[in-house]
Amino acid sequence: MKNVSCHEEGGTLTIALNGHVDSANAAAVEEEISGFRATHPAQTIVVDCEKLDYISSAGLRIILRLKKAVADTRLVNVSAEVYEIFDMTGFTEMMEIQKAYRVISVEGCEVIGQGANGKVYRIDRDTIVKVYLNPDALPEIHRERELARTAFVLGVPTAIPYDVVRIEGGGYGSVFELLNAVSFAKLLIRGEKTVDEVAKMSVDLLKLIHSTVVKPETMPDMKAVALDWADFLADYLPEEQYRKLHALVAAVPEDNHMMHGDYHIKNVMLQNGESLLIDMDTLCHGHPVFELASMFNAYVGYSDTDHSIVQSFLGISWETAAEFWNKSLRLYLDGADEAAVKAVEEKAMIVGYTRIMRRSIRRNGLNTEAGRREIENCKQKLAELLSRVDALTF
């Protein structure tokens, strides 16, 4: 069996080691690597140890010489047993060495949550896993873990992932231990809680999130993101409407209060009477109008031209989703009269329809009947709203 294979792509040389690399074959392994490097120079070397069972000191010297020759050399998919060898010999202190991730399957598992960047599955009674849509999501996973830790330290009840796994069929996931946790969506679907009860729990947690001040450098600025959405529409809206839209978003003051960014009933779980956030990759800071816009979209906006979408997405009917949105907004505004509630809703709708229109255009919506209908609906709604809304703040 061959102990080494090499391939180069885009300036990265990948060296796959197999079986044992020891004094019996180290010279041959290094000779093959050197021969390949002579004709395929690279700025980065990745040593794939997925099939490496053992490496001796002779093999370690090969790794050391590679590291000296190319500073950007790292090892990936290292088993626990082989990692221990690298750790004991000090290699983990001088170079990047990534442990292998265990592989799990989510086939047949219940989808209990869904966010902008992934789906959450229940693996068993005690465990859930968030599977990322991006197959190369490791940077996203590590970023989300840091965001979740930041929120947790600041007092926001969040589920902290304890493991990273590879998903059978491709991609990566974060594993959480949530004993008997139930999503807010499931509470509604099962009839275990009323719309009023779930809306109250949801808004209580949302207000806690929004009362939390963060260091702006630790999380994205939602205003900057919303400005990008508005600017994208420069070529798709009448100039006067685009200019007003841009000016409204630009005029929103800087705000260092935390936002979730994708807050809806599938992203919050109830565990032992405590509400927990499970999808943290959208954490950001900004004015609450941006959060309310995201919520409006989840419950109403995305389903405006096709009411079946919310049933597929959240598992509740269009009528229930609209009722939930309306009650949540009134609870959030805490006793505001109907005119004030309507005014805030229209501010959120401007941001919401801006996002939907951009999203639909970027997803080839101009070339499909459903997409054109959605885009035209957004244009009409924005034209109406921009004619009477003069500020997004409240």
Instruction: List, by residue range, all CATH 3.90.1200.10 domains of the chain.
Output: 182-386
How do the pLDDT tens digits run along the chain, 394 residues long? 588 999 999 999 999 999 999 999 999 999 999 999 999 989 999 999 999 999 999 999 999 999 999 999 999 999 989 999 999 999 999 999 988 888 899 999 988 877 678 888 988 888 889 999 888 888 888 888 889 889 999 999 998 888 888 899 889 999 988 767 889 999 999 999 999 999 999 999 999 999 999 999 999 999 999 999 999 999 999 999 999 999 999 999 999 999 999 999 999 999 889 999 988 889 999 999 999 999 999 999 999 999 999 999 999 999 999 999 999 999 999 989 999 999 999 999 999 999 999 999 999 999 999 999 999 999 999 999 999 999 999 9
Identify whether the C-beta of residue 182 lies closer than 8 Å to the C-beta of residue 219: no
Segments of the chain assigned to CATH 3.30.750.24? 4-100
Percent helix, strand, coil in the chain (nearest 5)? Answer: 50, 20, 30
**Structural tokens at position 247:** 């000016």
Tokens 């690279």 found at: 42
- Contact partners, residue 107, CB within 8 Å, separation at least 6: 168
From first CA to last CA, the distance across the chain in angstroms is: 69
Intervals of CATH 3.30.200.20 along the chain: 104-177
Q: Calculate ∠ Cα 296-150-256, nearest 5°.
A: 55
Q: Which fold has domain 104-177?
A: Phosphorylase Kinase; domain 1 (3.30.200)
Q: Quick one: fold of 4-100?
A: Transcription Regulator spoIIAA (3.30.750)
Side-chain-side CA neighbours of 130 within 13 Å: the count stands at 31
Cα–Cα distances in angstroms (integers) from residue 201 to residues 180, 185, 187, 206, in the given order: 18, 12, 11, 9
CATH homologous superfamily of domain 182-386?
Answer: Aminoglycoside phosphotransferase (APH), C-terminal lobe (3.90.1200.10)
